[in-house]
Amino acid sequence: MKYLFYAIVMALVSNATAAEVMISQKDKKFDKAAIKIKKGDKIVFKNNEKDITHNVFSLGPKNAFELKTQAPGTASTVEFKEPGTTDVECAIHTNMKLKVTVE
């Protein structure tokens, strides 16, 4: 019982240290060109367009992901588990670029 309590406390503590950062997509741009986060942090990719769909993905090989078609007003959360740098782009709008560095 004592150990269960300890495990719960540790889970809460480790959860509290992981941050969640919002990256907005507006006017076919990310609101930042680069972002530095810590291992285990999450980025919430929010499509803040009125009527433009995005398809955000990372070039990897670290932290590879693809959000698939993202409708206006929707958001998707990605956890970054591997230290290193990855470029994030939009498959539809090739000028959209974001560099994510995970420490």
Binder of Cu ion out of 23, 43, 90, 98 (CB under 5 A): 90
Considering the rule CB under 5 A, would residue 74 count as an interface residue with Cu ion?
no
Which pair of tokens denotes residue 3? 């150990």
Binder of Cu ion out of 45, 54, 98, 100 (CB under 5 A): 54
Considering the rule CB under 5 A, would residue 37 count as an interface residue with Cu ion?
no
> Do the Cβ atoms of 62 and 37 come closer than 8 Å?
no
Q: Which residues pair with 82 in a beta bridge?
A: none
Considering the rule CB under 5 A, would residue 76 count as an interface residue with Cu ion?
no
How far apart CA 58 and CA 65 sit, in angstroms, is 6
- Site for Cu ion, rule CB under 5 A: 54, 90, 92-93
